[in-house]
Chain A
């Protein structure tokens, strides 16, 4: 199957800049997938997104969106995508209906008419449907400035789905929203994915949002630091381990040695057993010494991310293949 987004060796150096804002990035996104581009501020997320959405030229590399080359077939790319920008892209003095209407006409869905009542019936019906979905039947003809932040975001997304884009780009869509609005927005996006099979390309610095993605690409300083499912990224970066302790710690150590289970410990800390060859239940089943402590340490994406980004701040480079030094060892 043809990839929704195919990026190869993408590089961008801004005019008069000495370093590359995006530096040799390659990835591909399957149709219908939720893909998250994760990174701290200034990592190159928005630059990448601007190039993919045809508003910025690249320096080198190739980008194919839904089968169209972004340089040669920019218009076809624009037709195939919807973009929700970081900054709201609504005119506050215009009504919700007007904002939607402008968009619909720009995408060639309907001819231009200066008033709602003069628009084709099909358009009017569609608008009423959308208003019902959003629950804004009453506010439809009121200026956007009276809407809440969460409401505006939802309206933008609905508007950007009007032309049935194959790919929806979301640039930090939940920044500035309260937790409830954020949750509602995600529920709505899940519904959209189920109903329209839209590919979603998300940039975010919220880890819990990336955790929902099928694939996560972590970038920092313009380079890819990790690429894969949230689970593999976590697995690659942070070791999963078991912490055990017993009143009779010496007996426990002896037993583990006897069972040929590797562990690490310092004089006065619980025993740490890396999980890899054996699963936690397999290990626990074998142990007869009464335990006083048993925790399974399963890393979150956040730990993996902080590990990556944080370590980079210290030594400037990062090799994901190298196992982490065990901090308690």
Chain B
């Protein structure tokens, strides 16, 4: 048991260290959030903010923050298939360590990596003038971890169904990018045609974004942006999705991993 815990910490430590040593990766991980918040959030606020009746910059900021946490953790977990054929990951798979520990360590590590990226996003958000109180920042910490865990569990589910790196590269953008719009990262999703509404409610990221926003506006003075559900409802749905994704994903992954 103690050995497995050491293994989980080691696998997580490796992910964080690799991220912190990889300067190009750090820089790249900030480019998109900066563009989204700075340009999309900034210009929407300047042009539409008055009519919308709520702060558009904060709207995009909270959406992008949740999206970064979700996507980064999911893609990090999926990298388990990408680099199973190279570097130290090969050695992880032949170590006398339970597959469950490998998955747990990977989700933990990628959660920490995502949180490090989120710090950068928050700092940038403050620089461009997103209204953020200390209380809101404090509340973001547990919410951020929850969104990461959802992303990690989603990543495992995707990973378990992918055999090769090539397939992962094909499938991942397909399951991630539509969620940007379906989950309303940049756009309110209050009035959608029925087919898109169904898809939107199916996208796991929807609940992460809505939770982040619900907490933000709940703690903010002034007019609130339209949110879909009460934060507690979002939490419940996330807890449910997390459990289902993780259970099915882990089961499939352990079953398929050696069975090629």
Q: Report which A residues bind B (CB closer than 8 A).
A: 14-15, 53-57, 75-76, 78-79, 81, 83, 85, 87-94, 98-99, 102-103, 105-108, 111-112, 114, 143
Q: Give the number of A-B contacts (CB < 8 Å).
A: 88
Chain B stretch 55-105: residues in CB contact (< 8 A) with chain A: 85-98
Partner of A14, one of B21, B98, B260: B260
Nearest A residue to B258 via CB reads A57
Q: List 29 A-B contacts (CB under 8 A).
A: A15-B260, A54-B94, A55-B93, A55-B94, A56-B258, A57-B259, A78-B94, A81-B94, A85-B90, A87-B90, A89-B88, A89-B90, A92-B87, A94-B14, A94-B18, A98-B17, A99-B88, A102-B10, A102-B88, A105-B6, A105-B7, A105-B9, A105-B10, A106-B10, A106-B92, A106-B97, A107-B95, A108-B3, A108-B96
B202 → A minimal CB distance (Å): 29
Nearest neighbor of A51 in chain B, beta-carbon distance: B258
Flag if A91 contacts B87 (CB, 8 Å): yes
Complex CA distance for A143 and B88, rounded to whole angstroms:
14
Cα distance, A85 to B89, chains bound together (Å):
11
B13 interface contact, C-beta 8 A: yes
Min CB distance, A116 to chain B, in Å?
Answer: 12
Determine chain A's interface SS by DSSP, over half rule: loop
C-alpha gap A259/B252 in the complex (Å):
75
Size range of the interface on B? 20 to 34
* Residues from chain B with Cβ under 8 Å of A94 in the complex: 14, 17-18, 21, 88
Are B94 and A83 within 8 A (Cβ)? yes
- Distance (whole angstroms) from the CB of A13 to the closest CB of chain B: 11
B14→A107 contact, CB < 8 A = no
Closest to A81 in B: B94
Which residue in B9, B85, B98, B259 is a CB contact (below 8 Å) of A112? B9
> Judging by beta carbons under 8 Å apart, are B95 and A90 in contact?
no
Q: Given contacts A87-B86, A99-B88, is CB(A106)–CB(B258) below 8 Å?
A: no
* Known contacts A87-B86, A106-B10, A106-B97; 11 further A-B pairs (Cβ under 8 A): A15-B259, A55-B93, A56-B258, A75-B98, A78-B96, A93-B21, A94-B21, A103-B91, A103-B95, A106-B92, A143-B21
A88/B87 in contact, CB under 8 A = yes
Residues of the A chain whose Cβ atoms lie less than 8 Å from the Cβ of B2? 111
> Is the Cβ of A53 less than 8 Å from the Cβ of B17?
no
Chain B residues, Cβ within 8 Å of A114: 13
Contacts of B94 in A (CB 8 A): 53-55, 78, 81, 83
Least Cβ–Cβ distance between B98 and chain A, in angstroms: 8
Minimum CB–CB distance from A39 to chain B (whole Å) comes to 20
Chain B residues with CB under 8 A of A107: 95-96
Name the contact of A78 in the complex, choosing from B9, B22, B95 (C-beta under 8 A). B95
- Distance of A17 Cα from B90 Cα, bound (Å): 24
Q: Which residues of B contact A93 (CB under 8 A)?
A: 17-18, 21-22
Please indicate the chain A residues that have their CB under 8 angstroms from the CB of B97 in the complex.
Answer: 106
Report the separation of the CA atoms of residues A75 and B7 in the bound assembly, to the nearest whole angstrom.
Answer: 14
CB distance from B104 to the nearest CB of A (A): 14
Complex contacts, A105 vs chain B, CB 8 Å: 6-7, 9-10
Q: Which residue of A lies closest to B105 (CB)?
A: A106
Partner of B6, one of A57, A92, A111: A111
Q: Could you say which residues of chain B place their CB within 8 Å of the CB of A14?
A: 260
Do A106 and B91 touch across chains, with their CB atoms under 8 A apart? yes
Query: Which residues of A sit under 8 angstroms from B86, Cβ to Cβ?
Result: 87-89
Closest CB pairs A-B (n = 10): A106-B95, A78-B96, A93-B21, A108-B3, A112-B6, A112-B9, A89-B90, A79-B96, A105-B10, A91-B88
* Residues on the A chain within 8 Å of B90, using CB: 85, 87, 89
How far apart are A51's CB and chain B's nearest CB, in angstroms?
Answer: 9
Alpha-carbon gap, A68 to B134, bound state (A): 58
Interface positions, chain B 12-28, Cβ under 8 Å from A, are 13-14, 17-18, 21-22
CB distance from B86 to the nearest CB of A (A): 5
A75 and B93 alpha carbons, distance in the complex (Å): 11
Instruction: Give the residue name and chain of the A residue nearest to B6 (CB).
Output: A112
Determine which of A79, A111, A112 lies in contact with B13 in the assembled complex, contact meaning CB atoms within 8 Å: A112
A56 is contacted by which of B10, B17, B89, B260 (Cβ under 8 Å)?
Answer: B260
State the CA gap A54–B7 with chains docked (Å): 19
Residues of B near A90 (CB, < 8 A) are 87-88
B89: chain A residues at CB < 8 Å are 89
Q: How far is the CB of A174 from chain B (nearest CB, A)?
A: 18
Q: How far is the CA of A107 from the CA of B97 in the complex (A)?
A: 8
Residues of B within 8 A of A143 (CB): 21
A87 and B6 CA atoms in complex are apart in Å by 26
Residue among B18, B88, B89 having the largest count of chain A Cβ atoms under 10 Å: B88
CB-defined contacts of B96 to chain A, threshold 8 Å: 75-76, 78-79, 106-108
Question: What sequence of 0s and 1s flags, for each residue 195-208 of chain B, a beta carbon within 8 Å of any chain A beta carbon?
Answer: 00000000000000
| Alpha-carbon distance between A108 and B94 when the two chains are bound, in angstroms | 13
> In the complex, what residues of B have CB within 8 A of residue A85's CB?
90-91
- Across-interface contacts of B21 in A (CB, < 8 A): 93-94, 143
Give Cα A144 to B90, complex, Å.
Answer: 17
Output the nearest chain B residue to A159 by Cβ-Cβ distance. B91
Q: How far is the CB of A76 from chain B (nearest CB, A)?
A: 8
Q: How far is the CB of B160 from chain A (nearest CB, A)?
A: 15
Give the nearest-CB partner of A94 in chain B. Answer: B17
Residues of B within 8 A of A57 (CB): 258-260
